[in-house]
C-alpha cells in the first residue's frame, strides 16, 4: 500500500450553466520518499490536484488516501488538523502575511500548537539557518526579495515537520538561479525524508525529480 | 549589532493573539479608520445619552419645582372649597383634618428621594374686626417653594407674630406693611403681602402653622398638604399609591394636568434622542460594513492562507474577533472619556445653566463598550462568514 493513493478522482467546476471538468478519473500512487513533479499545459488540472491533495478543495467523486486516512471522510476540522500535521504548502506567489515579520510568518503554524517559547525559538533558529535567513528574521516580509520570500514560505511550510510538501509552481516567480536555490532546498528536504510534490512548467525541475506526472486535459498521461 | 541584541531580548511566544496585535499595529491606517469610525458613532450616542439625561433632569426639575403635583386632603371630605383646581368643599374647615405625624409618613415611602417639597396647611375661618377671614397656617419656607408664582411685597414672615396678607385681603382691610391686626386676642404684624395671584390665596391671611395650631387648639393638625415630587424617573401614580398606603386616612390626588404636560415634554426629548441615536448607529454600521466589505478580498486571501497552514474555523474566528474586539474596546474607552467632555461643552448651551455638574454614571462606559463591540461585530460578521464559507482553494485564487 502506497503512502498516497488517489483513486478515480474527478473534480468538476460549475460556473453558471457551464461544466468545467478540471480533472477526471485520475489514479495515482505516490510513495513515502518520492520527489514528484506534476507538469502539463496551463489549465490541465495541476493546481486542482494539489488543492485536493491538501484538502483545500473537495472532489466531485473519487477519494484520496493519505497514510491510510481517507481524507474526504473527515470533518473540516479534522482536515485542518491533517493539514497542520501532515502537509506544508508552498505557492507561486508566496502567500505570506504582509503585516508580519519573517519570524512571525515562519512561526504561524506553531501559534496554534502547544510549543512553548523556548521550543518555538529552537525550531525557528534551526529553520532560519537552513533557509539562510537568520539575519533577516525581524524584517517585514514585503522588504524581502522574491527568493527570500519564497524561502520564508518554505520555512513556514516545514516548521511543523510535515511529511508532505505540496508546492504549486514555487519557482514560477523567480529567476532561474534563485529558482535553482529553491529546488536545492526541496531536494535536501526530500533527502531528509519528506515527500515532495512540485507542480511546474519548468523542464529543469522535471529533471531533478524522481517521478514525473504529466497532465493533459484533466487526465494523467501514461 | 544593537538591533540583533534587542531582538534577542524581545523574544516572544507566537500565539494567535500576536497575529491580531500585529495586524492592528502594523496596518495603522486601517486600524485608525476602524477605531475612528467606531469612536465617532459611540461618542455621538453616548454624548446624546448624557446630554438628554441631564436636560431631562433639568426640565423635569424646573417643572417639578414649578408647583405641587400631589395634593393630600382628609378622606371623608364633603367640603366645597376649591383649592388649586381641586374641590375642597364648603369652608367648614374644622370638621376634617389630618395629623401632621401621619403626613410625614410620606417621607418613608419607597420613592422618598423623589419627594421634593411638603407644604402643609391648616385652614381656619376666623375674623378680623368682625369680618370673615380665611386664615392659613403654613410653613413659609416650604410654601414659597411650591408657589413659585408668589410675589411678596415687603418681607416673608420669619416670626410667629408676623403675617402675610393676600392681595384682596390687604385692600379689604386697607393694610400696610408693619400694620397690626388682632385675631382671637393675638396681635400680628403684617410683614408683607402678595401681588394678585387670581386664586384663593388673594383672600387669605397666612400665618405660621404652629401659631395657628396653638391658637385654635389644633396641635399637630392640618387641613391639607401640597407635595412637589420630582418625577423624571418615576411615574407619579407610583408615588400616589405608595403615599396612599402610608396615609390611610388621607385622600391622595395627583394633579394630572401638571404631570401630563411635564411628562410629554420630557418624553419627547427622550424619544427624540433615542431616535437620533438609532439613526447614528444604523448609518455607522452600514458605513463600517461597506468599508469592511471593500477589503473583503484581502481578508479572504488572508483567511485562505491561514487555512492552508492548517487553521480551523475556530482559530480564524478567534483571530478576527480579537482584532475587532480590541479596536472596539479602544474606541469605547476614547468615546466614554470624550463624551463627558463634549457633554460638558454642550449642556450649558442647552440648559442655560453654566454650572451643571454631570454626574458620572457607570452605565455609560458599559453602554459605550456594548455599542462599539456589537457594532464592530455586526459589521465584520458578514465578511468573516463569507470568507469562511468559501472553499480555501478559491480563496487563495482570489489574489
Ligand atoms: N474555482 C474554479 N471555478 C471554475 N473553474 C475552475 C476553478 N478552478 C479551476 N478551474 C478550471 O479548471 C481547470 C483546471 O484548472 P487548474 O488551476 O487546476 O489548472 P492548472 O493546470 O493549475 O493551470 P496553470 O498551469 O495555468 O496554473 C481550468 O480550466 C480552470 O479554468
Ligand atoms: Mg495552477
pLDDT digits (tens, 9 = 90+) for A158-167: 999 999 999 9
CB of A116 sitting under 6 A from ligand 1:
no
Q: Is the pLDDT score of A221 beyond 80?
A: yes
The reported pLDDT for the residue numbered B272 is: 84
Residue A50 beta carbon below 6 angstroms from any ligand 1 atom: no
Q: Residue A14: its chain B contacts at CB < 8 A?
A: none
What DSSP string runs through B7-72?
HHHT-----HHHHHHHHHHHSHHHHHHHHHHHHHHHHHHHHHHHHHHHHHHHHHHHHHHTS--EEE
Helices and strands of chain B, counted as H and E runs: 13, 14
Considering only alpha carbons, which residue of chain B is nearest residue A111? B15
Give the closest-approach CA distance of B392 to chain A in angstroms.
Answer: 5
Distance from C-alpha of B94 to C-alpha of B115, rounded to nearest angstrom: 28
List the single residue in B with minimal CA-CA distance to A94.
Answer: B305
Chain A residues with CB under 8 Å of B310 CB are: 80-85, 87, 109, 112, 160
Report the residue of chain B nearest A80, measured CA to CA: B310
pLDDT over 90, % of chain A: 93
Residue A119 covered by a domain? yes
Domain boundaries, chain B: 2-62+264-397, 69-254
- pLDDT on residue A147: 94
pLDDT of residue A119: 92
Q: Classify residue A115: in a domain, yes or no.
A: yes
Ligand nearest to the CA of A48: 1
Give domain status of residue A153, yes or no. yes
Does the pTM of the predicted model rise above 0.95? no
Q: Distance from the CA of A42 to the center of ligand 2, in angstroms? A: 7
Q: Which residue has the cell 411650591?
A: B146
A24 CB under 6 A from ligand 1? no
- Least CB-CB distance to A111: which of B15, B27, B301? B15
Using CB atoms, pick whichever of B19, B305, B313 lies closest to residue A95. Answer: B305
Burial of A137 (0-12, 13-18, 19+ CB in 10 A): buried
**Domain presence at residue A148:** yes
Give the residue from B28, B308, B311 with the most A CB atoms within 10 Å of its CB, the best one to mutate.
B308
- The pLDDT value given to residue B229: 82
Cβ of residue A190 lying under 6 Å from some atom of ligand 1: no
Number of structural domains (chain A) is 1
pLDDT at B61: 65
* Distance (Å) from the alpha carbon of B363 to chain A's nearest alpha carbon: 37
Q: How many whole angstroms from A25 Cα to the centroid of ligand 1?
A: 16
Interface-testing mutation among B4, B13, B309, B317, with chain A (most A C-beta atoms within 10 A): B309
In a domain, A38, yes or no: yes
Question: What is the pLDDT at residue B399?
Answer: 46
Please, what is the average pLDDT of chain A?
94
Task: State whether B308 and A89 contact (CB < 8 Å).
Answer: yes
**How far does the centroid of ligand 1 lie from the alpha carbon of residue A47, in Å?**
7
How far B15 CA sits from the closest chain A CA (Å)? 4
Residues B306, A108: C-beta atoms closer than 8 Å: yes
| pLDDT number for residue B102 | 85
B307 closest CB neighbour out of A56, A117, A156: A56
**Chain A interface mutation, best of B9, B27, B310, highest count of A Cβ atoms under 10 Å:** B310
Long-range CB pairs of B262-266 (<8 Å, 24+ gap) are B262/B60, B262/B63, B262/B64, B262/B69, B262/B231, B263/B231, B265/B59, B265/B63, B266/B56, B266/B59, B266/B60, B266/B63, B266/B232
pLDDT of residue B83: 53
Contacts A100 to B, Cβ<8 Å: 19, 22, 26
Is A131 domain-assigned? yes
Rounded CA-CA distance A168/A148 in Å is: 17
Measure CB to CB from residue A138 to each of B7, B22, B309 and give the nearest one: B7
Cβ <8 Å between B311 and A56: no
Candidate from A55-69, A74-88, B80-94, B248-262 with smallest mean pLDDT: B80-94
- Candidate from A127-136, A205-214, B76-85, B104-113 with smallest mean pLDDT: B76-85
**Tens-place pLDDT, residues A91-104:** 999 999 999 999 99
Nearest ligand by distance to the CA of A22: 1
| Residue B163 vs residues B121, B167, B184, B191: alpha-carbon distances, Å | 14, 13, 14, 6
Asked whether the beta carbons of residue B391 and residue A76 sit closer than 8 angstroms, the reply is no
Closest C-alpha to A213, from A1, A9, A21, A73: A9
ipTM at complex level: 0.95
How distant is the Cα of A160 from the closest Cα of chain B, in angstroms? 10
Which residues of chain B register pLDDT less than 50?
A: 1-9, 77-82, 84-94, 399
Residues bordering ligand 2, an ion, CB closer than 5 Å: A 47
Question: Using beta carbons and an 8 Å cutoff, which residues of B are at the interface with A?
Answer: 3, 7, 11-16, 18-19, 22-23, 26-27, 301-302, 304-315, 391-393, 396, 399
Q: What is the mean pLDDT of residues A36-50?
A: 95
Q: Give the per-residue pLDDT at B305.
A: 94
Residue recorded with cell 467606531: B38
Q: Residue A120 domain-assigned?
A: yes
CB contact under 8 A, B396 and A95: yes
The CATH number covering residue A103 comes to 3.40.50.300
Q: Are the beta carbons of B232 and B41 closer than 8 angstroms?
A: no
| Span B40-59, pLDDT tens digits | 999 999 998 888 888 777 77
CB < 8 Å to A57, chain B: 391-393
Predicted confidence (pLDDT) per residue in B357-383, tens digit: 777 888 899 999 999 999 888 888 887
Residue A137 lies in a domain: yes
Task: Name the strand (E) or helix (H) holding B229.
Answer: strand B224-229
Contact assessment for residue B250 and residue B74, using Cβ atoms and an 8 Å cutoff: yes
For chain A, counts of helices (H) and of strands (E): 7, 10
Q: Which domain covers residue A173, as residue numbers? A: 32-58+75-220
Using the atom order of ligand 1, give the atom closest to the CA of residue A44: 21
Amino acid at each position: 500500500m502506497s503512502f498516497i493513493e488517489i483513486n478515480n478522482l474527478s473534480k468538476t467546476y460549475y460556473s453558471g450553466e457551464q461544466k468545467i471538468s478540471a480533472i477526471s478519473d485520475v489514479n495515482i500512487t505516490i510513495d513515502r520518499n518520492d520527489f514528484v513533479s506534476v507538469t502539463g499545459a496551463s489549465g490541465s488540472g495541476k493546481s486542482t490536484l494539489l488543492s485536493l491533495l491538501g484538502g483545500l478543495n473537495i472532489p466531485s467523486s473519487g477519494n484520496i488516501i493519505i497514510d491510510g486516512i481517507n481524507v474526504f471522510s473527515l470533518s473540516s476540522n479534522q482536515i485542518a488538523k491533517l493539514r497542520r500535521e501532515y502537509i506544508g504548502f508552498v505557492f507561486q506567489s508566496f502567500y505570506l502575511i504582509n503585516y508580519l515579520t519573517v519570524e512571525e510568518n515562519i512561526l504561524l503554524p506553531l501559534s496554534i500548537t502547544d510549543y512553548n517559547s523556548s521550543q518555538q525559538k529552537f525550531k525557528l533558529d534551526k529553520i532560519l539557518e537552513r533557509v539562510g535567513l537568520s539575519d533577516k528574521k525581524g524584517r517585514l516580509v514585503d522588504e524581502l526579495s522574491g527568493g527570500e520570500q519564497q524561502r520564508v514560505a518554505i520555512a513556514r511550510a516545514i516548521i511543523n515537520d510535515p511529511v508532505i510538501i505540496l508546492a504549486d509552481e514555487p519557482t514560477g516567480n523567480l529567476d532561474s538561479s534563485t529558482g535553482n536555490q529553491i529546488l536545492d532546498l526541496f531536494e535536501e528536504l526530500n533527502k531528509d525524508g519528506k515527500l515532495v510534490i512540485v507542480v511546474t512548467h519548468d523542464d529543469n525541475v522535471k529533471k531533478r525529480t524522481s517521478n514525473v506526472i504529466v497532465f493533459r486535459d484533466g487526465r494523467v498521461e501514461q | 549589532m544593537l538591533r540583533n541584541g534587542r531582538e534577542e531580548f524581545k523574544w516572544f511566544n507566537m500565539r494567535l493573539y500576536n497575529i491580531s496585535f500585529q495586524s492592528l499595529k502594523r496596518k495603522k491606517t486601517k486600524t485608525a479608520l476602524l477605531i475612528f469610525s467606531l469612536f465617532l458613532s459611540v461618542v455621538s450616542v453616548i454624548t446624546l445619552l448624557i446630554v438628554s439625561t441631564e436636560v431631562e433632569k433639568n426640565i423635569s426639575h424646573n417643572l417639578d419645582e414649578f408647583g405641587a403635583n400631589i395634593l393630600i386632603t382628609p378622606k371623608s371630605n364633603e367640603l366645597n372649597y376649591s383649592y388649586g383646581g381641586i374641590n375642597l368643599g364648603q369652608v367648614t374647615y374644622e370638621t376634617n383634618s389630618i395629623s401632621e405625624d401621619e403626613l410625614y409618613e410620606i417621607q418613608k415611602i419607597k420613592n422618598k428621594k423623589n419627594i421634593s417639597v411638603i407644604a402643609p396647611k391648616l385652614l381656619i375661618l376666623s375674623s378680623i374686626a368682625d369680618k370673615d377671614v380665611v386664615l392659613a397656617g403654613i410653613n413659609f419656607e416650604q410654601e414659597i417653594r411650591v408657589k413659585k408664582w408668589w410675589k411678596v411685597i415687603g418681607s416673608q414672615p420669619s416670626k410667629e407674630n408676623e403675617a402675610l396678607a393676600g392681595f384682596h385681603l390687604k385692600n379689604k382691610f386697607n393694610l400696610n406693611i408693619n400694620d397690626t391686626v388682632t385675631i382671637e386676642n393675638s396681635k400680628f404684624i403684617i410683614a408683607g403681602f402678595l401681588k394678585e395671584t387670581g386664586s384663593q390665596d388673594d383672600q387669605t391671611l397666612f400665618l405660621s402653622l404652629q401659631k395657628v395650631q396653638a391658637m385654635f387648639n389644633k396641635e399637630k393638625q392640618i387641613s391639607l398638604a401640597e407635595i412637589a415630587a420630582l418625577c423624571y424617573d418615576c411615574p407619579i401614580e407610583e408615588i400616589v399609591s405608595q403615599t396612599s398606603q402610608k396615609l390611610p386616612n388621607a385622600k391622595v390626588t395627583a394633579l394630572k394636568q401638571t404631570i401630563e404636560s411635564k411628562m410629554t415634554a420630557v418624553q419627547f426629548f427622550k424619544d427624540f434622542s433615542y431616535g437620533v441615536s438609532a439613526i447614528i448607529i444604523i448609518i455607522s454600521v452600514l458605513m463600517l460594513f461597506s468599508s469592511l466589505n471593500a477589503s473583503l478580498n484581502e481578508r479572504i486571501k488572508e483567511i485562505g492562507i491561514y487555512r492552508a497552514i492548517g487553521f480551523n474555523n475556530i482559530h480564524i474566528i478567534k483571530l478576527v474577533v480579537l482584532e475587532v474586539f480590541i479596536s472596539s474596546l479602544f474606541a469605547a474607552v476614547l468615546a466614554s472619556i470624550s463624551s463627558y467632555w463634549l457633554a460638558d461643552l454642550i449642556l450649558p448651551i442647552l440648559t442655560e445653566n453654566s454650572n451643571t455638574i454631570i454626574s458620572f454614571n457607570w452605565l455609560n462606559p458599559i453602554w459605550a463598550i456594548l455599542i462599539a463591540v456589537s457594532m464592530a461585530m455586526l459589521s465584520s460578521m458578514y465578511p468573516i462568514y463569507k470568507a469562511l464559507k468559501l472553499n480555501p482553494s478559491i480563496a487563495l485564487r482570489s489574489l
